[in-house]
Amino acid sequence: MIRSVGFAAYALIGLTLAACQSDIGSAPATPSSTTKTSATGSGMLTTRTAPAAVEGREFATLYNFDPQGKHGARVGLLAIRRDGSAVIVNSPPGVDVETIAQSQVGVQTGQHRKWFPIQSGSRPREASDAATYGQTIVWVETTQAMRASPDLKVFAVRSGQERPTLLSKSLDLSKSDVIPMSPGGNFITTDGVHVWWVRTYPTKDPSGWGSQILVRDIAGRGPLAVAIERAKNPVAAKAGLVYLRSPDVDPKMPANRYELRLHQGTTDTMLVAGDLVEGEPSSTICASETFIAWAVNSAGTSSENMQAPADGRLHVLSLASKVQQVIELGDNAGGLSLACGNTFVAWGNGSGNGDPGQYVFDIPSSKIWKLGELRGYSAVQAAGSILAWALPPKSTQDAVSWRVTKWQGR
């Protein structure tokens, strides 16, 4: 169903969820096209009995992220990098509750902040999603508080580059000022050479909307192209692009099936095929050098039925052994904040109404640890051995801060 996008502020905290992606330093092992979603190995795990992670044992704090900017502005964390630095956004207050002001993207290293030149336009835009690869940063700015907007722009900055490169203006692509909402999950990703991001558009088929993954050279030299039709949740790897296909974005698929696929040039192969209860979409994915993690929403939960059972599932697949671990969540996983590090998977329920806990699954030990909890903004970030999670604000009027740590596990 097509929905006209109006202004939608994040009333609970005032910041949008960041893209949850990590750098992938090498190509994944050749995948099997027959892996199913039934749990193997040690069977189903659950978050219900997870002990608290302890400072100095499971993790070491590098710094706490201060959300306070100058002149009443709030500073949000969009993405984390392997060296512990953060991609940040400065969001000045708007003139009223329904108006945003032009944001500014930068990098924080320790307590030092460096800002890129503001990318002005006819209307102010808010940076809502970012991804990194090494010293490369890409991000999205939109005139709406959420991602979907008829005026969406994509920018990129590489090491040593002072002024961002404008890669795309959605006004160049759209023939209508009515645009469907984003399918959720990952929105933008990069391998340091290309940038991929999701575009939704109205259609005349029964679903009323479509979703495609666009691609462009990060320097803006090559043309903008459609990489994959009827797809969502792109995650870049050196071997290609991992993405998700499910009935909500591909009406030709069976209603009870989803697929994680790997796109390599002109070759497209299946990594994982899984079963869904009809009307049960898959939500988001992340990947590292050795594994892939993805979430599947619980059956029966939707915006119309918030009281339904909230037991979404998180799947973690080893690319080498093809062993898959399934974790039962105390949340429907509809808006999961998910991030992959080198040896762990971390998650929170985003702005969902289920379990507000933030957790990490340490893969070598097969243990789940609880990091904390934050109702309304249970978010995490990860890259390499770096793990960050949102902390409760001092009051409902304050923005969230973040704890940036090095995950040690055990």
Can you give the pTM of this predicted structure?
Answer: 0.85
Determine which of 105-114, 205-214, 340-349, 362-371 has the lowest per-residue pLDDT on average: 205-214
Residue 347 lies in a domain: yes
Highest mean pLDDT among 136-150, 287-301, 349-363: 349-363
Residue 263 lies in a domain: yes
pLDDT at 9: 28
pLDDT per residue as tens digits for the range 291-346: 999 998 875 544 444 454 457 899 999 888 888 999 999 888 888 999 999 999 99
pLDDT at 178: 53
Residue count (the chain): 410
Q: What is the mean pLDDT of residues 70-96?
A: 89
Q: What is the DSSP string of 42-82?
A: T-EEESTTPPBP-BTTTEEEEEEEP-B-GGG-EEEEEEE-T
Residue 23 lies in a domain: no
Chain-wide mean pLDDT for the chain?
81
Tokens of 95: 């003139």
Residue 29 lies in a domain: no
- State the total domains in the chain: 1
Residue 13 lies in a domain: no
Tokens of 239: 């071997």
Q: What is the mean pLDDT of residues 268-280?
A: 80
Residue 263 · residue 241 · CB < 8 Å: yes
12 vs 261, which has greater pLDDT? 261
349 vs 38, which has greater pLDDT? 349
CA distance 133 to 189: 9
Question: Above 60 in pLDDT, residue 88?
Answer: yes
Determine which of 1-10, 86-95, 124-133, 292-301 has the lowest per-residue pLDDT on average: 1-10
Instruction: Name the residue range of residue 158's domain.
Output: 44-407
Q: CATH code at 385?
A: 2.130.10.10
Q: What is the mean pLDDT of residues 348-358?
A: 89
Question: Above 90 in pLDDT, residue 385?
Answer: yes
Residue 26 lies in a domain: no
Question: Above 70 in pLDDT, residue 60?
Answer: yes
pLDDT at 204: 77
CA distance 380 to 349: 9
238 vs 67, which has greater pLDDT? 67
pLDDT at 39: 35
Q: What is the mean pLDDT of residues 24-51?
A: 53
Residues with Cβ within 8 Å of 365's Cβ and at least 6 positions away in sequence, in order, are 409, 410
CB atoms near residue 391 (< 10 Å): 18
Percent of the chain with pLDDT over 90: 46
Residue 161 lies in a domain: yes
Residue 36 lies in a domain: no
Q: At 194, which amino acid appears?
A: H
Is residue 381 classed as helix, strand or coil in its secondary structure? strand
Determine which of 83-87, 166-170, 212-216, 401-405 has the lowest per-residue pLDDT on average: 166-170
CA distance 68 to 65: 9
74 vs 15, which has greater pLDDT? 74
Question: Above 70 in pLDDT, residue 21?
Answer: no
Rounded to 5°, the CA angle 345-350-352 comes to 125
pLDDT at 180: 55
Determine which of 19-33, 335-349, 396-410 has the lowest per-residue pLDDT on average: 19-33
CA distance 150 to 212: 15
- Strands of 238-391 (E only): list them: 240-245, 257-264, 267-275, 282-287, 291-296, 313-318, 324-328, 337-340, 344-348, 357-362, 367-373, 380-383, 386-391
List the end-to-end C-alpha distance of the chain, in Å, as a whole number. 47
